[in-house]
């Protein structure tokens, strides 16, 4: 049985297009692997707190010196990281908001980037400490961005995941969703075919 970590970030919840693409991907993974076990993290319904000096300070404080509040911050971060460690596959729904990733996803990233835990610094630069595994990114956009300088999401997500050791990253794009019904329908169909190809 494959353990799938599902991360969604749409402000529209499960009705968001990126979340719907995630559902399609999970259905395809069931056909590919048979029984799967899913762990859901809906960042819109349960936002990860944005990083501030207090939370960052908790990460830097020696374990023996942390107070209860600081330990709670670290325990929460450890939980998020453990969900990744336990997953065989990660499926992530990522809408584009104002040319970037949702702020809740950035906050999530800030809580799983932990020096000595998910990455370490070396004389030759940082090295990711997480064991690699497939990551499927379902990217929903209102306009056309893939392959253009305005696509800030793809390089950011790929760079961040690679930073912590996750390099087997696959993107599926559904674009032009706000550019007319026909374009929207065609784009979603193309994304569906891409999902079938990626996870078969």
Binding-site residues from annotation for FMN: 10, 96-99
| C-alpha 200: how far from chain center | 21
| Tokens 């990733």, residue located | 101
- φ, ψ for residue 104, nearest 5 deg: -70, -30
What's the sign of the alpha-carbon dihedral 133, 140, 81, 103?
positive
Query: Does the CA dihedral 116-122-125-129 come out positive or negative?
Result: negative
How far, CA to CA in Å, does 45 sit from each of 14, 101, 187? 10, 16, 27
The C-alpha angle with vertex 110 and arms to 108 and 112, in degrees rounded to 5, equals: 75
The neighbour count for residue 141, using CB atoms within 10 Å, is: 25
How far is it, in rounded angstroms, from Cα 22 to Cα 93? 6
Going 82 to 192 to 18 to 145, the CA torsion angle's sign is positive
Q: Copy the structure tokens of residue 149.
A: 């300088």
Annotated binding residues: 10, 96-99
């Amino acid at each position: 049985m494959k353990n799938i970590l599902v991360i969604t970030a749409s402000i529209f919840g499960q009705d968001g297009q990126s979340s719907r693409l995630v559902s399609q991907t999970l259905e395809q993974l069931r056909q590919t692997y048979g029984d799967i076990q899913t762990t859901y993290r809906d960042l819109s319904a349960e936002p990860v707190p944005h990083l501030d000096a207090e939370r960052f300070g908790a990460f830097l404080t020696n374990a023996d010196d942390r107070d209860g509040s600081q330990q709670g911050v670290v325990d929460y971060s450890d939980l998020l990281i453990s969900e990744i460690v336990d997953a065989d596959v990660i499926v992530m729904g990522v809408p584009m908001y104002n040319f970037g990733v949702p702020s809740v996803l950035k906050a999530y990233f800030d809580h799983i980037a932990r020096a000595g835990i998910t990455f370490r610094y070396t004389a030759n630069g940082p090295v990711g400490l997480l064991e690699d595994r497939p990551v499927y990114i379902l990217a929903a956009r209102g306009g056309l961005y893939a392959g253009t300088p305005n696509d800030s999401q793809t390089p950011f997500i790929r760079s961040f995941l690679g930073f912590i050791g996750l390099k087997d990253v696959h993107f599926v794009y559904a674009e032009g969703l706000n550019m007319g019904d026909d374009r929207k329908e065609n784009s979603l169909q193309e994304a569906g075919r891409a999902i079938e190809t990626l996870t078969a």
